Amino acid sequence: MELVHIQSGGKLDISLLKGILEENGIKTIVKSNHGQGFVIRAGNLFEEYHLFVQAENEVSAKELASLYSK
């Protein structure tokens, strides 16, 4: 399964975009730079999250992401 990066950002933005994509039938994976232990100690304000989808959904996901970011 090849993953394609769609967008990076804060927890709120990535969570909202994840919901939009999944409501449109696109499965997502969210990864973070530091991991959950860092977030527990420092809070998620300092963490950056990265949203990925399967390569076959790249075009649709990027279209939805561009509509969301407007």
Tokens 């950002």 label which residue? 9
Q: Quick one: pLDDT at residue 47?
A: 81
Q: Where are the domains of the chain?
A: 3-68
65 close to 6: Cβ distance less than 8 angstroms: yes
Query: Cα 67 to the chain's mean position, in Å?
Result: 15
pLDDT in the model for residue 32: 86
Of 2.40.30, 3.60.90, 3.40.50, 3.30.70, the CATH number of 3-68 is: 3.30.70
pLDDT tens track for 6-65: 999 998 999 999 999 999 999 999 998 766 554 455 555 668 899 999 999 999 999 999
SS3 content of the chain, % helix, strand, coil (to 5): 55, 25, 20
CA–CA distances in Å: residue 1 to residues 9, 19, 53, 54, 56: 23, 21, 10, 7, 10
